[in-house]
Amino acid sequence: MSKTKKTVTVTDNRNGKSWEYPVMDGSIGPSVVDIRKFYADTGMFTYDPGFTSTGSCASGITYIDGDEGILRHRGYGIEDLAQHCTFLEVAYLLLRGELPNPKELKEFEGTITYHTMIHEQVTRFYQGFRRDAHPMAIICGVVGALSAFYHDSLDISDPHHRMISQHRMIAKMPTIAAWAYKYSIGQPFIYPKNELSYAENFLRMMFATPCEEYKISPTLAKAMDRILILHADHEQNASTSTVRLTGSSGANPFACVAAGIASLWGPAHGGANEAVLKMLAEIGTVKRIPECIKRAKSKDDPFRLMGFGHRVYKNYDPRAKIMAQTCKEVLDELGMKNEPLLQIAMELERIALEDDYFVQKKLYPNVDFYSGIIFRAMGIPVSMFTCIFALARTTGWISQWNEMIGDPDQKIGRPRQLFTGHAQRKFVPLKKR
């Protein structure tokens, strides 16, 4: 990022006063206007609900170009990373800025593997929740509580402490998420095994029981690993911005990630793949698809096809093509091509890729459309969908948090407001009202 000699002039038409503000260029993407002195100069704030036109930070981690359908981590295209890397390779890339060599990857995998255990007293923490509590509520509470168990490395000004916290967070999330599921169905916790990969460990902790050894499907483990890669980071979205805003006060990393989990839980953010399955269930049968397509095209009908198009990507979601391939691999492995709900999904996909209405409006199936189908096929309940999203995104959150801590320009978050309440009111004592 560099300040250029380019400026933007702002003129107040009420009094004719003008101010110039420098334009800052990144390495790629839109330039930004540096308005940090805007209030001091003009006595006014900018108004940008949702911060959709505001750059809140400088970051070198993830770049998105929604118009062109581009998603890159540290300069590498998501297509190359998903096809040729493991999740822990991508995690290393997000944290350290470079892809690891074989020695670095082995050391990093060993570090993460030997941090997957959780302090045994945390198991008692789970017992404080109701069995019917949503797993997202459980992992939000457990992650927030980790600072009470791992308070030996919470000095955020110490790079070594930050590194330990990063490793712990990435390593323990599969265990925390899997145990939330086990607790909700009344089964005993399954502890991690050090000889298994990151994705294999998660699947085993989700589905194994003490009664028999769990047989891990390489195809399903590969699919889960790829899903984690595709959800690892997505620039300054609601949950990532929440993590940064929380961290700007100096809060510990466990509290920051817990805040990110809470933000992700919202249906407008992390619940999109749940909405896809609810839509498929509402359609009910392949025969009803033409009727539902017609309803979706009507502006007067509230029915919407979920999992098509994306608020960021105005072109094809680059993750969707990889997820579509993964979906087919999983269905072939499980022999579930004839499952009714999945047949509806596949027919919807075919129509969306061929129908002029969808093609012209660029309403292609997105990553949420396919991930929901994959999770259902793998036997993962809807309540766990967002938990897996949180498991994957933890790597991005903790990378963004670490970058923020080291940014000399970062200040405590303090958004402004356009006040619309009473300017001043005369107080009347209770006896006279």
Instruction: Tell me how far apart the alpha carbons of residues 208 and 431 are, in angstroms, rounded to a whole number.
Output: 68
Contact 97, 402 (CB under 8 A): no
Instruction: Tell me phi and psi for residue 9, to 5 degrees.
Output: -100, 130
Instruction: Tell me how far apart the alpha carbons of residues 321 and 412 are, in angstroms, rounded to a whole number.
Output: 39
Instruction: Tell me how far apart the alpha carbons of residues 60 and 233 are, in angstroms, rounded to a whole number.
Output: 12
Give me the residue label for tokens 């940064």: 244
Contact 333, 217 (CB under 8 A): yes
Annotated catalytic residue within 368, 407, 409, 422:
368
Nearest to 85 by CA among 228, 233, 196, 240: 228
Q: How far apart are the first and last CA of the chain?
A: 59
CA 61 to chain centre: 14
Nearest to 305 by CA among 282, 339, 338, 332: 282
Instruction: Tell me how far apart the alpha carbons of residues 226 and 108 are, in angstroms, rounded to a whole number.
Output: 19
Label the pairing between strands 70-73 and 2-11: unpaired
Contact 57, 411 (CB under 8 A): no
Q: Which residues contact 400 (CB under 8 A, 6 or more apart)?
A: 59, 61, 233, 240, 243, 244
- Buried b / exposed e across 119-155, counting CB within 10 Å, b at 16+? eeebeebbeebeeebbbbebbbbbbbbbbebbeebbe
Instruction: Tell me how far apart the alpha carbons of residues 219 and 200 are, in angstroms, rounded to a whole number.
Output: 10
Task: Check if 48 is active-site.
Answer: no
Annotated catalytic residue within 167, 225, 310, 317:
310
Tokens of 177: 């998420």
Strand partners, 21: 8
CA distances from 191 to 122, 128, 131, 206, 401 (A): 13, 20, 20, 10, 28
Task: Check if 269 is active-site.
Answer: no
Please name the helix (run of DSSP H) or strand (run of DSSP E) that holds residue 19, with its range, or none.
Answer: strand 18-25
Q: Which residues are catalytic?
A: 310, 368
